[in-house]
Amino acid sequence: MALDVETRRAENGVTVVAPTGRLDVAGAPALKDAINEVVKNSPPKIVIDMVGVSFVDSTGLGSVISALKQIRGSEGGELRLAAPNQQVRVVLELTTLDRVFPYYATVEEALTGL
Amino acid sequence: MGSNHQTFEFNAEFTELGEGLDILHRSIQLLREATGRAQDDRALILFETALGEIGGNVLTHGRPPGIERPVEYTLRLDGHTLVASLSDSGLPVHEHLSREMPAHDNEAGRGLAMARSLLDELGYERDGDLNRWRLVKRL
Protein backbone atom coordinates (compact mmCIF):
# COMPACT_ATOMS: atom_id res chain seq x y z
CA MET A 1 0.00 0.00 0.00
CA ALA A 2 1.69 3.20 -1.16
CA LEU A 3 1.50 6.37 0.89
CA ASP A 4 -0.48 9.14 -0.82
CA VAL A 5 0.26 12.67 0.36
CA GLU A 6 -2.01 15.66 -0.24
CA THR A 7 -1.09 19.21 0.63
CA ARG A 8 -3.50 22.09 1.19
CA ARG A 9 -3.39 25.61 2.59
CA ALA A 10 -5.59 26.38 5.59
CA GLU A 11 -7.39 29.73 5.96
CA ASN A 12 -4.70 31.06 8.31
CA GLY A 13 -1.97 30.33 5.73
CA VAL A 14 -0.61 27.24 7.50
CA THR A 15 0.12 24.28 5.24
CA VAL A 16 -1.66 21.04 6.04
CA VAL A 17 0.10 17.92 4.80
CA ALA A 18 -2.17 14.88 4.80
CA PRO A 19 -0.64 11.45 4.19
CA THR A 20 -2.93 8.47 3.64
CA GLY A 21 -1.79 4.87 4.11
CA ARG A 22 1.10 3.36 6.06
CA LEU A 23 3.88 5.75 7.03
CA ASP A 24 6.54 3.05 7.07
CA VAL A 25 9.85 2.17 5.44
CA ALA A 26 8.06 2.00 2.08
CA GLY A 27 5.95 5.14 2.52
CA ALA A 28 8.35 7.49 4.35
CA PRO A 29 10.07 8.87 1.19
CA ALA A 30 6.72 10.23 -0.08
CA LEU A 31 6.23 12.28 3.10
CA LYS A 32 9.82 13.53 2.98
CA ASP A 33 9.34 14.68 -0.63
CA ALA A 34 6.09 16.46 0.22
CA ILE A 35 7.64 18.26 3.21
CA ASN A 36 10.65 19.30 1.11
CA GLU A 37 8.30 20.87 -1.44
CA VAL A 38 6.37 22.75 1.22
CA VAL A 39 9.50 24.07 2.94
CA LYS A 40 10.88 25.21 -0.42
CA ASN A 41 7.72 27.11 -1.39
CA SER A 42 5.92 28.26 1.73
CA PRO A 43 6.31 29.74 5.19
CA PRO A 44 7.44 26.76 7.30
CA LYS A 45 4.36 26.35 9.47
CA ILE A 46 3.00 22.90 8.90
CA VAL A 47 0.37 20.62 10.39
CA ILE A 48 0.67 16.96 9.47
CA ASP A 49 -2.87 15.57 9.42
CA MET A 50 -2.39 11.96 10.56
CA VAL A 51 -6.05 10.94 10.36
CA GLY A 52 -5.41 8.87 7.23
CA VAL A 53 -2.26 7.17 8.58
CA SER A 54 -3.10 3.62 9.61
CA PHE A 55 0.37 2.63 10.84
CA VAL A 56 3.75 4.19 11.52
CA ASP A 57 7.14 2.49 11.92
CA SER A 58 10.51 3.83 13.03
CA THR A 59 11.45 4.90 9.48
CA GLY A 60 8.18 6.77 9.12
CA LEU A 61 8.84 8.40 12.45
CA GLY A 62 12.32 9.30 11.18
CA SER A 63 10.74 11.18 8.28
CA VAL A 64 8.71 13.25 10.76
CA ILE A 65 11.83 13.96 12.84
CA SER A 66 13.62 15.02 9.67
CA ALA A 67 10.74 17.38 8.88
CA LEU A 68 10.80 18.78 12.39
CA LYS A 69 14.53 19.53 12.18
CA GLN A 70 14.13 21.13 8.77
CA ILE A 71 11.19 23.30 9.84
CA ARG A 72 12.53 24.36 13.23
CA GLY A 73 15.74 25.34 11.45
CA SER A 74 13.77 28.02 9.56
CA GLU A 75 12.83 31.28 11.26
CA GLY A 76 9.32 31.03 12.70
CA GLY A 77 9.06 27.42 11.64
CA GLU A 78 6.69 25.12 13.49
CA LEU A 79 5.40 21.61 13.02
CA ARG A 80 2.41 20.00 14.70
CA LEU A 81 0.83 16.57 14.38
CA ALA A 82 -2.94 16.20 14.32
CA ALA A 83 -5.26 13.24 14.87
CA PRO A 84 -2.79 10.37 15.33
CA ASN A 85 -4.50 7.00 15.80
CA GLN A 86 -3.80 4.69 18.74
CA GLN A 87 -0.90 2.87 17.06
CA VAL A 88 0.83 6.16 16.20
CA ARG A 89 0.36 7.42 19.77
CA VAL A 90 1.80 4.17 21.15
CA VAL A 91 4.92 4.61 19.01
CA LEU A 92 5.33 8.27 19.98
CA GLU A 93 5.02 7.38 23.68
CA LEU A 94 7.32 4.35 23.45
CA THR A 95 10.07 6.41 21.85
CA THR A 96 9.30 9.37 24.20
CA LEU A 97 8.94 11.50 21.08
CA ASP A 98 5.57 12.65 22.42
CA ARG A 99 7.69 15.07 24.48
CA VAL A 100 9.10 16.55 21.27
CA PHE A 101 6.03 16.53 19.02
CA PRO A 102 3.01 18.35 20.30
CA TYR A 103 0.06 16.42 18.94
CA TYR A 104 -3.55 17.50 18.79
CA ALA A 105 -6.85 15.67 18.56
CA THR A 106 -7.95 17.44 15.38
CA VAL A 107 -6.48 19.53 12.56
CA GLU A 108 -8.59 22.49 13.71
CA GLU A 109 -7.04 22.33 17.19
CA ALA A 110 -3.56 22.04 15.70
CA LEU A 111 -4.15 25.10 13.52
CA THR A 112 -5.27 27.23 16.45
CA GLY A 113 -2.63 29.77 17.42
CA LEU A 114 -0.22 28.90 14.60
CA MET B 1 -7.29 -27.05 27.80
CA GLY B 2 -10.33 -24.75 27.91
CA SER B 3 -12.90 -24.49 25.16
CA ASN B 4 -11.69 -20.94 24.39
CA HIS B 5 -8.24 -22.17 23.36
CA GLN B 6 -7.78 -20.39 20.02
CA THR B 7 -5.39 -21.35 17.26
CA PHE B 8 -4.47 -19.61 14.04
CA GLU B 9 -1.76 -20.13 11.46
CA PHE B 10 -0.63 -18.11 8.45
CA ASN B 11 2.30 -18.87 6.13
CA ALA B 12 3.74 -16.84 3.27
CA GLU B 13 6.84 -16.19 1.20
CA PHE B 14 7.63 -12.83 -0.35
CA THR B 15 10.41 -10.93 -2.02
CA GLU B 16 9.42 -7.28 -2.51
CA LEU B 17 9.23 -4.60 0.17
CA GLY B 18 5.71 -3.30 -0.50
CA GLU B 19 4.32 -6.78 -1.13
CA GLY B 20 5.97 -8.17 2.02
CA LEU B 21 4.72 -5.38 4.29
CA ASP B 22 1.20 -5.73 2.87
CA ILE B 23 1.26 -9.46 3.66
CA LEU B 24 2.53 -8.93 7.23
CA HIS B 25 -0.22 -6.42 8.01
CA ARG B 26 -2.86 -8.53 6.28
CA SER B 27 -1.89 -11.55 8.40
CA ILE B 28 -2.52 -9.53 11.56
CA GLN B 29 -5.88 -8.37 10.24
CA LEU B 30 -6.82 -11.98 9.43
CA LEU B 31 -5.80 -13.02 12.95
CA ARG B 32 -7.85 -10.15 14.40
CA GLU B 33 -10.92 -11.25 12.45
CA ALA B 34 -10.44 -14.97 13.13
CA THR B 35 -10.16 -14.43 16.89
CA GLY B 36 -12.78 -11.68 17.22
CA ARG B 37 -10.30 -9.15 18.59
CA ALA B 38 -11.11 -5.46 18.27
CA GLN B 39 -9.29 -3.13 15.90
CA ASP B 40 -7.88 -1.27 18.91
CA ASP B 41 -6.74 -4.41 20.82
CA ARG B 42 -3.59 -3.01 22.46
CA ALA B 43 -1.56 -6.25 22.64
CA LEU B 44 -2.12 -6.88 18.96
CA ILE B 45 -1.23 -3.27 18.08
CA LEU B 46 2.05 -3.67 19.98
CA PHE B 47 2.79 -6.96 18.23
CA GLU B 48 1.97 -5.54 14.78
CA THR B 49 4.25 -2.58 15.46
CA ALA B 50 7.15 -4.91 16.35
CA LEU B 51 6.39 -7.09 13.32
CA GLY B 52 6.48 -4.03 11.07
CA GLU B 53 9.92 -3.13 12.44
CA ILE B 54 11.49 -6.57 12.07
CA GLY B 55 9.71 -7.21 8.78
CA GLY B 56 10.87 -3.86 7.39
CA ASN B 57 14.47 -4.65 8.40
CA VAL B 58 14.30 -8.12 6.89
CA LEU B 59 12.86 -6.80 3.63
CA THR B 60 15.34 -3.96 3.25
CA HIS B 61 18.55 -5.62 4.52
CA GLY B 62 17.74 -9.32 4.21
CA ARG B 63 17.86 -9.64 0.45
CA PRO B 64 21.34 -8.74 -0.77
CA PRO B 65 21.81 -8.23 -4.55
CA GLY B 66 21.94 -11.54 -6.38
CA ILE B 67 20.07 -13.45 -3.67
CA GLU B 68 16.81 -14.81 -5.03
CA ARG B 69 15.69 -16.67 -1.92
CA PRO B 70 12.37 -15.25 -0.65
CA VAL B 71 11.70 -14.23 2.93
CA GLU B 72 9.77 -16.97 4.75
CA TYR B 73 7.10 -15.91 7.21
CA THR B 74 4.90 -17.80 9.65
CA LEU B 75 2.40 -16.38 12.15
CA ARG B 76 0.99 -18.78 14.73
CA LEU B 77 -1.39 -18.30 17.65
CA ASP B 78 -1.61 -21.10 20.21
CA GLY B 79 -3.88 -20.15 23.08
CA HIS B 80 -2.60 -16.81 24.31
CA THR B 81 0.86 -17.07 22.75
CA LEU B 82 1.43 -15.37 19.41
CA VAL B 83 4.65 -16.19 17.53
CA ALA B 84 5.92 -14.77 14.25
CA SER B 85 8.94 -16.31 12.51
CA LEU B 86 10.87 -14.68 9.68
CA SER B 87 13.97 -15.87 7.87
CA ASP B 88 16.14 -13.94 5.45
CA SER B 89 19.45 -14.23 3.60
CA GLY B 90 21.03 -10.96 4.71
CA LEU B 91 24.27 -10.36 6.55
CA PRO B 92 24.43 -11.35 10.24
CA VAL B 93 22.99 -8.63 12.48
CA HIS B 94 24.32 -9.61 15.94
CA GLU B 95 25.96 -6.23 16.45
CA HIS B 96 22.66 -4.36 16.07
CA LEU B 97 20.69 -6.40 18.58
CA SER B 98 21.71 -4.55 21.72
CA ARG B 99 21.06 -1.06 20.36
CA GLU B 100 19.44 1.32 22.80
CA MET B 101 16.77 3.85 21.89
CA PRO B 102 18.64 6.77 20.26
CA ALA B 103 18.30 10.47 21.14
CA HIS B 104 15.20 12.36 20.03
CA ASP B 105 16.83 14.08 17.07
CA ASN B 106 18.22 10.88 15.51
CA GLU B 107 16.23 9.95 12.43
CA ALA B 108 17.15 6.23 12.45
CA GLY B 109 18.17 3.36 14.71
CA ARG B 110 14.99 2.87 16.75
CA GLY B 111 13.60 -0.27 15.10
CA LEU B 112 15.18 -3.06 17.12
CA ALA B 113 14.95 -1.17 20.41
CA MET B 114 11.25 -0.61 19.76
CA ALA B 115 10.63 -4.24 18.82
CA ARG B 116 12.42 -5.50 21.95
CA SER B 117 10.33 -3.37 24.26
CA LEU B 118 7.02 -4.26 22.55
CA LEU B 119 7.45 -8.04 22.73
CA ASP B 120 7.79 -10.62 25.48
CA GLU B 121 10.63 -12.19 23.53
CA LEU B 122 12.65 -11.25 20.47
CA GLY B 123 14.79 -14.15 19.31
CA TYR B 124 17.51 -14.06 16.69
CA GLU B 125 19.87 -16.75 15.47
CA ARG B 126 22.29 -17.13 12.59
CA ASP B 127 21.60 -20.46 10.91
CA GLY B 128 24.12 -21.12 8.15
CA ASP B 129 23.64 -18.20 5.77
CA LEU B 130 20.19 -17.33 7.12
CA ASN B 131 18.97 -14.92 9.77
CA ARG B 132 16.10 -16.37 11.77
CA TRP B 133 13.86 -14.06 13.79
CA ARG B 134 11.27 -15.10 16.37
CA LEU B 135 8.80 -12.61 17.81
CA VAL B 136 6.73 -13.71 20.79
CA LYS B 137 3.93 -11.98 22.65
CA ARG B 138 1.38 -13.26 25.08
CA LEU B 139 -1.98 -11.75 24.22
In a domain, B109, yes or no: yes
CATH of the domain at A29: 3.30.750.24
Closest residue in A to B57 (Cα) is: A25
The secondary structure of chain B in percent helix, strand, coil, rounded to multiples of 5, reads 35, 30, 35
- Enumerate chain A positions whose Cβ falls within 8 A of a Cβ in B: 1-2, 22, 24-26, 55, 57-59, 61-63, 65-66, 69, 86-87, 90-91, 94-97, 99-100
* Chain A neighbors of B22, CB-CB under 8 A: 1
Distance between CA atoms of residues B107 and B120, nearest Å? 26
In a domain, A34, yes or no: yes
Distance between CA atoms of residues A3 and A64, nearest Å? 14
Whether residue A62 and residue B101 make contact (CB cut-off 8 A), yes or no, is: no
**A33 pLDDT exceeds 70?**
yes
Prediction ipTM score: 0.91
In a domain, A114, yes or no: no
- Which of A57, A95, A97 faces B56 most closely, judged by CB atoms? A57
Residue B70 DSSP symbol: P
Distance between CA atoms of residues B41 and A2, nearest Å? 25
In a domain, A94, yes or no: yes
The alpha-carbon gap from B126 to the nearest alpha carbon of chain A, in Å, equals 24
In a domain, A76, yes or no: yes
CB contact B68 to A (< 8 Å):
no
CATH of the domain at B26: 3.30.565.10
In a domain, B2, yes or no: no
In a domain, B114, yes or no: yes
Domain containing A43 equals 4-109
What's the structural domain count of chain B? 1
The amino acid at residue B9 is E
Q: Which of B22, B110, B119 should be substituted to probe chain A, the one whose Cβ sees the most A Cβ atoms within 10 Å?
A: B110
B30 torsion bin: left (phi>0), alpha (psi -120 to 50), beta (else): alpha
In a domain, B55, yes or no: yes
Domain containing B43 equals 7-138
The amino acid at residue B120 is D
**A70 pLDDT exceeds 90?**
no
What's the structural domain count of chain A? 1
In a domain, B24, yes or no: yes
In a domain, A43, yes or no: yes
In a domain, A68, yes or no: yes
In A13-95, beta strands by DSSP E: 15-23, 45-49, 53-56, 78-82
Mapped onto helix, strand or coil, the DSSP state of residue A71 is: helix
CB contact B22 to A (< 8 Å):
yes
Distance between CA atoms of residues B124 and B27, nearest Å? 21
Which pTM does this prediction carry?
Answer: 0.92
B72 torsion bin: left (phi>0), alpha (psi -120 to 50), beta (else): beta
Half-sphere exposure (Cβ direction) of B46: Cα atoms closer than 13 Å:
18
* pLDDT tens, N- to C-terminus, chain B (139 residues): 445 799 999 999 999 999 999 999 999 999 999 999 999 999 999 999 999 999 999 998 877 777 778 999 999 999 999 999 999 988 888 767 777 788 888 888 888 999 999 999 999 999 998 999 999 999 9
Distance between CA atoms of residues B10 and B73, nearest Å? 8
In a domain, A85, yes or no: yes
pLDDT band at A43; cut points 50, 70, 90: low
Q: In what order do the strands lie in the sheet with B7-14?
A: B7-14, B71-78, B81-88, B130-138, B121-127
**A1 pLDDT exceeds 80?**
no
